[in-house]
Amino acid sequence: MPFSTKKINHIAIIMDGNGRWAKKNLVDKKDGHQAGVDAAIKICKSISKDSIVKHLTLYTFSTENWNRPLNEINQLFELINSVYKKLKDTAKDQNIKIVHLGKKTRLPKRTINIVNDVVESTKMNNGLILNIAFNYGGRSEIIDAFKKFKKYKANINEKNFYKFLYNPILPDPEIIIRTGGDLRISNFLLWQLAYSELFFTKTLWPDFNYNQLKKIINNFNKRKRNFGK
């Protein structure tokens, strides 16, 4: 299948299925999360090489993930800390700009320092913009934006409200993908997804690859988007 090279502003992905992948492959859950990280880095490299997507947002850790068992959270944070260091090297090689999308409250100080270092060291890169939705929740983002909105007493309209979101310059995603087979959004980009095209795949995230992403992009480019007209 020929691959469309039409530019896409923003693709957002709910990376689901690491735990089930681990169970399926008879390995520890932490190995499933590691396989998910490897898949994410491969996707980032491929997208960066093709230069057809400007923004990629990956749902890494949600505000609801704090409800997981403590030992799993600790394992996740150890992995996340190492992932950011690996992403820093990848970003340097691929000219990727990394942006934090979410809250920093509750995050360990070590993690905050690592996140800040990666964001600062890649801020001048002008290739793919990788938004890492880490400690992120769509409802929290809307509530936090509303609090700022009230403080500055801006005129009430959508354009002004957008200025108070976590990343005001992040365009709405044209495509939202969820792997793993579940058919829900899970508190992800609730304000921004109003006219996003939704794609759900049963493929578990560690098995998701760039060829599958290209098929989704081709499918998207065949859709007629009327935006209510």
Tokens 């109003």: give the residue.
194
> Does the annotation mark 167 as catalytic?
no
Cα separations in angstroms, 149 against 63, 145, 159, 164: 22, 6, 12, 7
**What SS3 class is residue 9?**
strand
Active-site residue, selected from the candidate residues 9, 28, 50, 65:
65
Q: For residues 56 and 85, what is the distance between their CA atoms, to the nearest angstrom?
A: 19
Tokens 């044209």: give the residue.
174
Q: For residues 84 and 79, what is the distance between their CA atoms, to the nearest angstrom?
A: 9
- Alpha helix locations (H) across 8-102? 18-24, 29-50, 70-94
CA 27 to chain centre: 25
> Does the annotation mark 65 as catalytic?
yes
* Residues 6+ away with beta carbon under 8 Å from 120: none
Q: For residues 63 and 102, what is the distance between their CA atoms, to the nearest angstrom?
A: 9
**Residues designated as active site:** 16, 65
